[in-house]
Amino acid sequence: MTEISPAQKMSNQTDSLAVALFSEILTVDQLARNNVAKALPRGMVLSHFSVLNHLARTQSERTPAQLARTFHLTRGAMTNTLRKLEASGYVHIRPDWDDARRKMVTISPSGRSARDAALAAIAPIIAEAVEKVGAEKVRAILPVMRDLRINLSEGE
């Protein structure tokens, strides 16, 4: 029988911890997405809300490429989302006056209203989840989640 070294034991424990952590993160992500998606106004999907929310928070125009990078999507996927948002009247897409090859995207007044309605619909779900877990626990985990996000985004 082969003896396991302390370094291997530590490595196995770290691997097991990492698997458990990411299993929880992925499960929470799936459950959160499902619960939020159910509460969104009719016809709105999570990707639409995410883009509208980003544009509303930044309060500035973005190119489709910038949005694709922000959401870690391909340009094609972002273009598809933006077309649907434009067809709904939620965003305005105009040519870039300085570079005709680019387009600029901004949220429209109806897009802001749709985003606000979606936010009002999902806020109670998010608040209830935080309340059930406890605000102190959520405050304690936020820095860890932020560090994980930053470390993972650096790997791209």
Mean pLDDT by 10-residue block, N- to C-terminus, for the chain (156 residues)? Answer: 64 81 94 92 92 95 95 94 96 92 95 96 94 95 92 78
Give the model's pLDDT for residue 7.
63
Q: 78 near 64, Cβ under 8 Å?
A: yes
CA atoms within 13 A on the CB side of 45: 6
Give the model's pLDDT for residue 123.
94
Give the model's pLDDT for residue 69.
93
Tokens 């009247």 found at: 89
Give the model's pLDDT for residue 15.
82
Give the model's pLDDT for residue 154.
80
Give the model's pLDDT for residue 142.
94
What dotted CATH number matches 12-154?
A: 1.10.10.10
- CA proximity to 46, closest of 136, 127, 124, 119: 119
pTM of the model: 0.79
Q: Report residue 107: phi and psi, to 5°.
A: -75, 140
Give the model's pLDDT for residue 93.
97
Give the model's pLDDT for residue 53.
96
Pairing label, strands 103-107, 91-95: antiparallel
Could you tell me where the DSSP H helices lie in the chain? 6-39, 46-58, 64-70, 75-87, 109-133, 135-154
